[in-house]
Amino acid sequence: MKKRLNIGMIGYGFMARTHSNAYRKVGNFFDLEYTPVLKTVCGLVEEEARAFAARWGYEKVETDWRKVVEDPAIDLIEICVPNNFHAQIAIAAAKAGKMIVCEKPLALNAAEALAMTEAVEAAGVPNLASFNYRRIPAVTLAKQMIDEGRLGKIFHYRANFLQDWTISADVPQGGMATWRLDAKAAGSGVTGDLLAHCIDLALWQNGPITSVNAMTEIFVKERKSVESGKMEPVVIDDACTFFCRFGNGSMGNFEATRYARGHKALFTFEINGEFGSLAWDLHDLQRLAYFNHNDEGITRGWRSIHVTDGDHPYMGKWWVPGLAIGYEHSFVHQAADFIESLSTGKPVGATFRDGMETQRVCDAVLDSAKSGTWVNL
Amino acid sequence: MKKRLNIGMIGYGFMARTHSNAYRKVGNFFDLEYTPVLKTVCGLVEEEARAFAARWGYEKVETDWRKVVEDPAIDLIEICVPNNFHAQIAIAAAKAGKMIVCEKPLALNAAEALAMTEAVEAAGVPNLASFNYRRIPAVTLAKQMIDEGRLGKIFHYRANFLQDWTISADVPQGGMATWRLDAKAAGSGVTGDLLAHCIDLALWQNGPITSVNAMTEIFVKERKSVESGKMEPVVIDDACTFFCRFGNGSMGNFEATRYARGHKALFTFEINGEFGSLAWDLHDLQRLAYFNHNDEGITRGWRSIHVTDGDHPYMGKWWVPGLAIGYEHSFVHQAADFIESLSTGKPVGATFRDGMETQRVCDAVLDSAKSGTWVNL
Amino acid sequence: MKKRLNIGMIGYGFMARTHSNAYRKVGNFFDLEYTPVLKTVCGLVEEEARAFAARWGYEKVETDWRKVVEDPAIDLIEICVPNNFHAQIAIAAAKAGKMIVCEKPLALNAAEALAMTEAVEAAGVPNLASFNYRRIPAVTLAKQMIDEGRLGKIFHYRANFLQDWTISADVPQGGMATWRLDAKAAGSGVTGDLLAHCIDLALWQNGPITSVNAMTEIFVKERKSVESGKMEPVVIDDACTFFCRFGNGSMGNFEATRYARGHKALFTFEINGEFGSLAWDLHDLQRLAYFNHNDEGITRGWRSIHVTDGDHPYMGKWWVPGLAIGYEHSFVHQAADFIESLSTGKPVGATFRDGMETQRVCDAVLDSAKSGTWVNL
Amino acid sequence: MKKRLNIGMIGYGFMARTHSNAYRKVGNFFDLEYTPVLKTVCGLVEEEARAFAARWGYEKVETDWRKVVEDPAIDLIEICVPNNFHAQIAIAAAKAGKMIVCEKPLALNAAEALAMTEAVEAAGVPNLASFNYRRIPAVTLAKQMIDEGRLGKIFHYRANFLQDWTISADVPQGGMATWRLDAKAAGSGVTGDLLAHCIDLALWQNGPITSVNAMTEIFVKERKSVESGKMEPVVIDDACTFFCRFGNGSMGNFEATRYARGHKALFTFEINGEFGSLAWDLHDLQRLAYFNHNDEGITRGWRSIHVTDGDHPYMGKWWVPGLAIGYEHSFVHQAADFIESLSTGKPVGATFRDGMETQRVCDAVLDSAKSGTWVNL
């Protein structure tokens, strides 16, 4: 008989959907000691929370997150609300002894992230910052290949996350749909929203960043506020690019924007080492590009690995070779690994501490962009 | 309050997984009048059926499919067993007044398929042949564009389905895992297994085929039988290629094999018309290639459409632009459309009749390969 | 001091340009015992021949090819005129003891091709059928890899040549610009013009074809004749597809058309063997796709080889790695190899005999399309 | 009767080959008032110069460049020697009233480049800095599309030039073959060699850069000197990345390295504007990627334009649609445009002044990398 893992979901937006779907599916494909139970969903507007509960099968609805955090029936708190609520919920949940999974970026800034990290570590509760892209099979395979030393000494790490959804000056800021353009809710613009993903993968794959030099830009200087109904200055970063040094001596080059026509969600990384290179792109997430310099000269070329075989990370649980899975599966894998970690007692990343390290880089990037100088970490 | 749709699943193999997953997910993403209920699963080996039921949440287990077909609590019979069982189960289910979803190919041959079609039509029960690839969003978009006349008069239809999993002479034939190599269970080799998918899409997108000319090959002449333990002649087709004429005057070129190194499941089609062309490949299922001759000359080029926008078929139900879905979602879409058709009363394809038409082409292909001549349909 | 190789060019059209360019360039890049000299150009319209001579540096102009063939100053006759002139010129040139390079297809049909082959062999003169694509470096590399046994036993050979320039019914037939649509001048349509290239590569890479089964189509049934100014029936094949058996037991699938929107000159081949596969496309002629099944499982993928390294065929003569050459260089390589063969005495292909073998397959394809049955070779 | 343009080539290395080839070919394909004549080649080692002259048909050989510059028979001086010789030769040639084509980068630094520019402008002689990539047809087409306003307001310009040939610590520095690693001869490392190309295209396509912020790296700290035979510190930049602001408000992101495994000569640019985006890659130089946001939503996608049609820049002079040209043709086009400018009197770029602007950016990049701060231009 499986143990139950009772989930209290804070939020009913996009991320609440990805996480709910993951918990509903994970047991059908992975063999786990715990069965996740969608216990309570919590959101500000009760009828919307109720509709979400009906759709996903949550047993209970709340509008005050504190009640969920304090509910003894709940084992795991899922934080899927705008960034400015992460810290308070997470710290309260840690104090209440709950496990926590928190959407990224972990917090509005590194100070908050540190407080959250200290709270979960003091409480000794399992914790996870939801950097889901680590668990796209092609990305996991890349990590595995790097760890095996297949690339040798690393020279370059390159990543970007390019979108094009805010080019129109008519897109408003604030409110439920566009809180990501509101500095109070989001903390920053593309840095926290997009570069955080790039940075998390970079730290995980290539180790610590020791210094950064950045620039940011705001292309549309004012937008209508959903709250006030008036034109107000835009204060979040529309675009951000930075270069950096890693502890291992390699150079980094990062860029994110929401002004790159034709890119819906072009999230890529490329890593160049002595013996080979790897590259990946979210638009074609099932493929990993690999150049192996040790291949014989005349037949050497970038390989396009279709990461759908049974011996590829996670893929043995799904279909058969050649049949792709998608974006949502990264959350299923994350759920599987997290639940597995409850049995093994070995924490899995990204932990809150990992999330805090990413936040420290984000802060340094924004500081550097402001000062126009290198910032050390 | 939603109506319940009670499902009796016959089979617990690969296809039973894809269908069970679809019914479990569909209500989370689509707004439907019926809630599918995983009522009963039926399979030969009781403990395996039981394990399957536990994993997917089926309420009941049977080992005799007749009991499921006769169970008044069941609304819909799902046929996910080897091809040689399709006809008897489907005909019995039709007589029992059940709706039926049957895996492809519909039957061992056109005669069986006709009997099944007549049975469901006589009984007036909703029926579906599970040609799931129609509902990959890029494929659905292609169909929509063709129907809108964007390609104009069609000259060429080209499709293939290439795999490489039977190249080793050590792969056995028969048994649970390799029944697709057993003529008694499968009816044919790549023709029924792979070309049936190509033909279904072709008939749907490009209309009837009027004549075919085919060749087949068996590369590995004998394999060990799982049943007898002895080497026995291989009688299914390892590879099949054919060309044909369509009713609309266009030429077709089709090929399938399990001996094409490097192709796990390369399933492609390309259609060339007066005003443009479309091409698709299952390996990168989220993309549709489109050439629009009406684009201005110097900037004309094949477009790679990343079919993940909210206004693309089905995609408004999933995530946000740029985030891909995968293979399994084609079954979710099929389930959604089928359930929707129960409300609208408008049948959706592939119906059994459609499945029978595909079977007729398969039979003609195999006949032509045997006779070495053109066969009319 | 280098020996001179005096060239008599019959024709001043497209192919005369590619060959003249090749002879002018070859000595700048390849170290050869002979210096090609553009001695005489011959064409029907004297002023056009004169303009061609001025542009390319031919010393002399003729309007009667017999004078060139008989001129003792000429060493090599280049035949770059419509197909219906090939045989008479080649046979006369052979009798005159000239070396001959003849554009493809070698002749209007296999009978003519045989007569030409017997003539050059009887005369013992160096001869070449200009199947230039053998000498695109990526194609040459493919041949080399096949000959080294890297693919093992071959199962499939697939090739096509797709264009879209005759879709409009307003394209006329006959005359200088569109003689390829005129059966008298061209012999056949896409079979001799396009499939001949596919077949030449196939025979060269994969050995003899033993039987074929073909279909052809004429989409636009009548076109204006440039000669008569009236609408006349189209008798050449607009499209042709065939499958076949090779002597080595593999299956072939070939297609050519001028009605595939979006394909200017999509000339591809793919060959699937036990240990690997190769694929190439003229549109990206600098790349060869290679799948090596012997690569370790989890990192296996199609390699895209950028065939521009110094150790790739011919590439040591050009620039540096990464810098592509183009279509015209295949003719330079052909010229280099042909001139080299004069020194070594070892003939290089495609010889007239090779060209005749291709012609035999073309004839069989056209016969099969007419009869609707398999034709043995 | 055409006028003769007598060329004095200084240098007999790689670039002397590309330029000589261009002058030999240009008249065969372009209709020009002048016929280029390969008059004199000049190089330090007489026998090598003699061999070069023999191969390319130069009439005369010199070992002292001053004699060529002063020779009244010479019209045009071609400077194809290491960077540290550019200024003195160019200034002398300008004083002697010669036209000048100089390889890039124009000089060791901006001060030299300014002196050269002033010299040619004072002398009123036609002058060209050989930034050949402007004349790859796909690149020229991109420029044309940008100038027509097809992209609207520009937000981002991105370029890189990645190679992998100096990863081995065994590559020496200095001497004839590796002077690019010698600071005295080359001035800088990847900045002058590779980024100069990126910057030239960027300034041409996107206008002036107003400020830059850069970092450089030396991965292999010492290499054997060809001159001294001893290990000596490496002082050129192995890798360089910078971001910048353009005068039009867009952000730039540039990177070059010789340590990116798998990239022989990955030279790319991408430009994102309000209405669309363009991208190009030297490895597939015949293709231009174009995203047109004005295309209808559901069929929108990146177009891959195969830039080989008769109405594409320069392509009407070559073969037929679908047949690619290569790297060397950019030099032929440059020669054609330069010679054409002699007739029209309208200078063509990159002029020496353009080359100087690129040099100013290169200097600012190196200054910024040294100081770790933004540098204004």
Question: Which residues 6+ apart lie within 8 Å of C225 measured at CB?
Answer: C172, C173, C174, C231, C232
Among D339, D374, D346, D377, smallest CA distance to D360 is for D377
Chain A contact set for D302 (CB, 8 A): 262
- The residue of chain D with its CA nearest to that of C164 is D321
Chain A contact set for B177 (CB, 8 A): none
CATH topology of domain D134-376: Dihydrodipicolinate Reductase; domain 2 (3.30.360)
Query: Given pLDDT bands bounded at 50, 70 and 90, which one contains residue A166?
Result: very high
Question: Which residues 6+ apart lie within 8 Å of D348 measured at CB?
Answer: D128, D337, D338, D340, D341
- C vs D, Cβ pairs < 8 A, gives 101
Q: What is the pLDDT of residues A261-319, one digit of tens each?
A: 999 999 999 999 999 999 999 999 999 999 999 999 999 999 999 999 999 999 999 99
**Chain B residues 268-327 with CB within 8 Å of chain D:** 287-288, 290, 292, 295, 297-306, 309, 311-312
Q: Return the pLDDT at B1.
A: 64
The correct answer on CATH 3.40.91.10 for the domain covering D3-133 is: no
Q: Residue D1: count other Cβ atoms within 10 Å of its Cβ.
A: 4
Identify which of C290, C301, C303 has the shortest CB distance to residue A306: C301
Q: Do C251 and B239 touch (CB under 8 A)?
A: yes
Q: Do C253 and B255 touch (CB under 8 A)?
A: yes
Q: Identify the sign of the CA torsion D361, D362, D366, D372.
A: positive
CB-count burial class (<10 Å; 0-12, 13-18, 19+) for C376: exposed
Q: Return the pLDDT at D175.
A: 80
CA distance B109 to B105: 9
Among D210, D205, D375, D371, smallest CA distance to D279 is for D205
C346 SS3 class: coil
Q: Is C209:C377 a contact under the CB 8 Å cutoff?
A: yes
Question: What separation in angstroms does the CA of D77 have from each of C128, D34, D55, D109, D129?
Answer: 42, 16, 19, 21, 12
Q: Do B27 and A283 touch (CB under 8 A)?
A: no
CA B359 to chain centre: 12
Q: Do D291 and A262 touch (CB under 8 A)?
A: yes
A42 SS3 class: strand
- The residue of chain D with its CA nearest to that of B292 is D299
Cα of B104 to nearest chain D Cα, Å: 30
Q: Do D303 and B306 touch (CB under 8 A)?
A: no
Task: Suggest the residue from D140, D148, D298, D300 to mutate for an interface test with chain B (most B CBs closer than 10 A).
Answer: D298
- The residue of chain A with its CA nearest to that of D166 is A274
- The residue of chain D with its CA nearest to that of B312 is D298
The phi, psi pair for A326, rounded to 5°, reads -130, -160
Q: Does the pLDDT at position A200 exceed 70?
A: yes
Look up residue C85 and give its DSSP letter. G
As annotated, the residues of chain C forming the CATH 3.30.360.10 domain(s) are 136-376
Instruction: Give the containing element (helix H, strand E) for B186.
Output: helix B183-186
Q: Do D306 and C282 touch (CB under 8 A)?
A: no
CA distance D377 to C345: 65
Q: Return the pLDDT at B174.
A: 84
Task: Suggest the residue from D210, D213, D240 to mutate for an interface test with chain A (most A CBs closer than 10 A).
Answer: D213
Task: Suggest the residue from C148, C288, C299 to mutate for an interface test with chain A (most A CBs closer than 10 A).
Answer: C299
Q: Does the pLDDT at position A116 exceed 80?
A: yes
In words, the CATH class of domain C136-376 is: alpha beta
List the subunits that have 3+ CB pairs under 8 angstroms with C. Answer: A, B, D
Question: What separation in angstroms does the CA of D274 have from each of A235, B320, D154?
Answer: 21, 21, 6
Q: Return the pLDDT at C1.
A: 64
Residue carrying structure tokens 């996480």: A19
Q: Are strands A209-217 and C222-224 parallel, antiparallel or unpaired?
A: unpaired
Q: Does the pLDDT at position C256 exceed 90?
A: yes
Q: Do A306 and C311 touch (CB under 8 A)?
A: no
Among D73, D76, D78, smallest CA distance to D52 is for D78
- What 3 state SS string does chain D have? CCEEEEEEEECCCHHHHHHHHHHHHHHHHCCCCEEEEEEEEECCCHHHHHHHHHHHCCCEEECCHHHHHHCCCCCEEEECCCHHHHHHHHHHHHHCCCEEEEECCCCCCHHHHHHHHHHHHHHCCCEEEECHHHHCHHHHHHHHHHHCCCCCCEEEEEEEEECCCCCCCCCCEECCCEHHHCHHHHCCCHHHHHHHHHHHHHHHHHCCEEEEEEEEECCCCEEEECCCCCEEECCCCCEEEEEEEECCCCEEEEEEECCCCCCCCEEEEEEEECCEEEEEEHHHCCEEEEEECCCCHHHCCEEEEECCCCCCCCHHHCCCCCCCCCCCHHHHHHHHHHHHHHHHCCCCCCCHHHHHHHHHHHHHHHHHHHHCECEEC
Q: Does C171 touch chain B (CB under 8 A)?
A: no
- Alpha carbons within 13 angstroms on the beta-carbon side of residue D262 total 25
Q: What angle do CA B343, B344, B347 make, to 5 degrees?
A: 105
Among B313, B351, B291, smallest CA distance to B124 is for B351
Q: Identify the sign of the CA torsion A187, A191, A194, A195.
A: negative
Cα of C372 to nearest chain B Cα, Å: 7
CA distance C84 to C172: 19
- B vs D, Cβ pairs < 8 A, gives 50
Strands of A293-339, DSSP E = 302-306
Q: Return the pLDDT at B176.
A: 76
Q: Does the pLDDT at position A177 exceed 90?
A: no
Q: Do C261 and B373 touch (CB under 8 A)?
A: no
Q: Return the pLDDT at B184.
A: 84
Chain A contact set for D262 (CB, 8 A): 272, 276-277, 291, 293, 302
Q: Return the pLDDT at D77.
A: 98
Q: Does A55 touch chain B (CB under 8 A)?
A: yes
Q: What is the pLDDT of residues A320-350, one digit of tens each?
A: 999 999 999 999 999 999 999 999 999 999 9
What is the mean predicted confidence (pLDDT) over C11-22? 97
Q: What angle do CA B156, B159, B162 make, to 5 degrees?
A: 155
Among C282, C15, C285, C27, smallest CA distance to C130 is for C15
Among A150, A79, A138, smallest CA distance to A309 is for A138
Query: Does residue C180 or residue A92 have the better pLDDT?
Result: A92
CA distance A105 to A129: 8
Q: Do A320 and B55 touch (CB under 8 A)?
A: no
CA distance A102 to A90: 8
Look up the CATH superfamily of B135-376: Dihydrodipicolinate Reductase; domain 2 (3.30.360.10)
Task: Determine the residue type at A185.
Answer: A
For the residues of A113-155, what is the DSSP string, one character each? HHHHHHHHHHHT--EEEE-GGGGSHHHHHHHHHHHTTTT-SEE
Identify which of D239, D243, D273 has the shortest CB distance to residue A215: D243
B153 SS3 class: coil
Residue carrying structure tokens 């009828």: A47
Largest CA distance in chain C: 66
Flag whether the pTM goes above 0.80. Answer: yes
- Alpha carbons within 13 angstroms on the beta-carbon side of residue B119 total 25
CA distance D25 to B119: 75
Question: What separation in angstroms does the CA of A180 have from each of A176, A192, A268, D35?
Answer: 9, 9, 21, 63
Q: Return the pLDDT at D1.
A: 64
Q: Residue D41: count other Cβ atoms within 10 Å of its Cβ.
A: 31
Q: Return the pLDDT at A72.
A: 97
For the residues of C122-188, what is the DSSP string, one character each? HHT--EEEE-GGGGSHHHHHHHHHHHTTTT-SEEEEEEEEE--TT-STT--BBTTTBGGG-HHHHSS
Identify which of D242, D276, D374 has the shortest CB distance to residue A372: D374
As annotated, the residues of chain A forming the CATH 3.30.360.10 domain(s) are 134-376
As annotated, the residues of chain B forming the CATH 3.30.360.10 domain(s) are 135-376
Identify which of B55, B284, B306 has the shortest CB distance to residue A264: B306
Per-residue pLDDT of chain B (377 residues; tens, 9 = 90+): 689 999 999 999 999 999 999 999 999 999 999 999 999 999 999 999 999 999 999 999 999 999 999 999 999 999 999 999 999 999 999 999 999 999 999 999 999 999 999 999 999 999 999 999 999 999 999 999 999 999 999 999 999 999 999 999 999 988 877 888 888 888 889 999 999 999 999 999 999 999 999 999 999 999 999 889 999 999 989 999 999 999 999 999 999 999 999 999 999 999 999 999 999 999 999 999 999 999 999 999 999 999 999 999 999 999 999 999 999 999 999 999 999 999 999 999 999 999 999 999 999 999 999 999 999 99
Q: What is the pLDDT of residues A213-226, one digit of tens each?
A: 999 999 999 999 98
Q: Is B5:B34 a contact under the CB 8 Å cutoff?
A: yes
Q: Do D295 and B311 touch (CB under 8 A)?
A: no
Per-residue pLDDT of chain D (377 residues; tens, 9 = 90+): 689 999 999 999 999 999 999 999 999 999 999 999 999 999 999 999 999 999 999 999 999 999 999 999 999 999 999 999 999 999 999 999 999 999 999 999 999 999 999 999 999 999 999 999 999 999 999 999 999 999 999 999 999 999 999 999 999 988 877 888 888 888 889 999 999 999 999 999 999 999 999 999 999 999 999 889 999 999 989 999 999 999 999 999 999 999 999 999 999 999 999 999 999 999 999 999 999 999 999 999 999 999 999 999 999 999 999 999 999 999 999 999 999 999 999 999 999 999 999 999 999 999 999 999 999 99
Chain B contact set for D309 (CB, 8 A): 297-298
Chain D contact set for C318 (CB, 8 A): 328
Look up residue A192 and give its DSSP letter. I
Q: What angle do CA A107, A109, A112 make, to 5 degrees?
A: 65
Q: Does the pLDDT at position A46 exceed 70?
A: yes
Identify which of C151, C291, C373 has the shortest CB distance to residue B373: C373
**ipTM reported for the complex, 2 dp:** 0.96
Identify which of C251, C260, C274 has the shortest CB distance to residue B156: C260
Question: Which residues 6+ apart lie within 8 Å of D58 measured at CB?
Answer: D9, D20, D38, D39, D40, D41, D52
Question: Which residues 6+ apart lie within 8 Å of C52 measured at CB?
Answer: C12, C16, C41, C43, C58
Q: Do D155 and A274 touch (CB under 8 A)?
A: no
As annotated, the residues of chain A forming the CATH 3.40.50.720 domain(s) are 3-133
Chain B contact set for A283 (CB, 8 A): 286, 306, 322, 324
Q: Is A267:A133 a contact under the CB 8 Å cutoff?
A: yes
* Strands lying side by side in the sheet with D60-62: D60-62, D34-42, D3-10, D76-79, D99-103, D127-130
C104 SS3 class: coil
